[in-house]
Amino acid sequence: MLLRNAVLYRDQTFLQGDLAFANGRFVTPSASDDSLDLSGRTIIPGLVDIHFHGNSGVDFCDGSYDGLVKIARFLARSGITSFSPASMTLPEARLQAAFATAIRLRREQPAQAARLYGITMEGPFFNAAKKGAQNADYLMLPDLDFFNRLAETAAGLIRIACIAPELPGAIEFIEQVSRRCTVAVAHTSADYDTAKAGFDAGARHVTHLFNAMPPFVHRAPGVIGAAADHPAVTAELITDGIHIHPSVVRAAFKIFGAERMILVSDSMAACGMSDGEYDLGGQRVRVSGRTAALADGTIAGSATHLFDCLRTAISFGIRPEDAIAAATINPARVIGADREIGSIAPGKSADFVICKPDWSIEAVYVAGEPIRL
């Protein structure tokens, strides 16, 4: 299939050109009878969400295969073609069940669905003082045996493991686990020196920057300052328009540089649903007007999917070239999938979104197959 005369997003820039794909992969364009003129349209890679919990009334940790298929199909319709669902702080048995469903989805790859490329293990090794919407009943100190049991069930699919570096045993955990997947600093009260020790030990990512961590203060820069000072560390931003002020989003891109920024949705079951009550990690969350919160007012994930977060970031003044990279190739690198997804290049999976001039979605393709919107 040949798509002609589109504006293509390639190598972090926009170029007029043609896009071709065959057998589920991008190929070098050549003359073809099977072609479509896309003048006035922009084609970008399919988005990659590496931190979200659910949508469509379903949570990843429900452990339901049919529920996970429902999640993946909603993502595909929303322009998110690849994902790494995030777990919560829950009993081991529930995590085992959820991880097993991820393995099955990865193996079966149902039609009309986004592709699962990993699992993001958010918890249970967090500081209770910064637990956010994590369930305090199941928080625990870093436990390598606990991680290993889940990693065995996940058959190598854990791509991100989150931890508070100030906890006893955390540095040793980071040293070991960072050899196997990306370790992220999260839900933490760490000061600058403690966070730096975590990054020096091998942590290379920060989960939802600014949220569930100390603020960036001129004499106490904390996790944010330590991450900014370490050039190998990437950082997530939830750009739903609620979690972070537009000025702070712009500042983060300036401090870290666009190449280190990752857009995530942190969406929960209410995404794609009407206002009401939903479950997040065993806790009731009230959603009203796009804000999801626990009974005490704590923000509990978002009700916004990643494509809308991308559009919001652009509306905040982030260059489209930078925002798109932060939602495609940058997160693909974090989960080690950038050779397969995240950009438009011959040989990669033909995952892409055809956008209208206002950045709304006209069409989505996953592995060269059109998604019914």
Rg, Å, the chain Cα set: 20
CA angle at residue 231 from 334 to 122, to 5 degrees? Answer: 40
Cα gap 230→212, rounded to integer Å:
20
Give the dihedral sign, CA 36/42/48/53.
negative
From 49, 266, 279, 351, active-site residue: 266
Identify whether the C-beta of residue 101 lies closer than 8 Å to the C-beta of residue 65: yes
User: Helix, strand or coil for residue 73?
Assistant: helix
Longest dimension (CA), the chain: 64
Query: Strands 35-37 and 2-10: what pairing?
Result: parallel
Helix, strand and coil in the chain, % to nearest 5: 30, 25, 40
Phi, psi of 228 (to 5 degrees): -60, -35
Asked if 206 and 358 touch (Cβ cutoff 8 Å), the reply is no
Name beta bridge partners: 115: 82
Encode 144-170: b = buried (16+ Cβ within 10 Å), e = exposed.
eeebeebbebbeebbbbbbbbbbbeeb
Tokens in use for 149? 């049991």
Is 266 among the residues known to form the active site? Answer: yes
Q: Which residues are the active-site residues?
A: 266
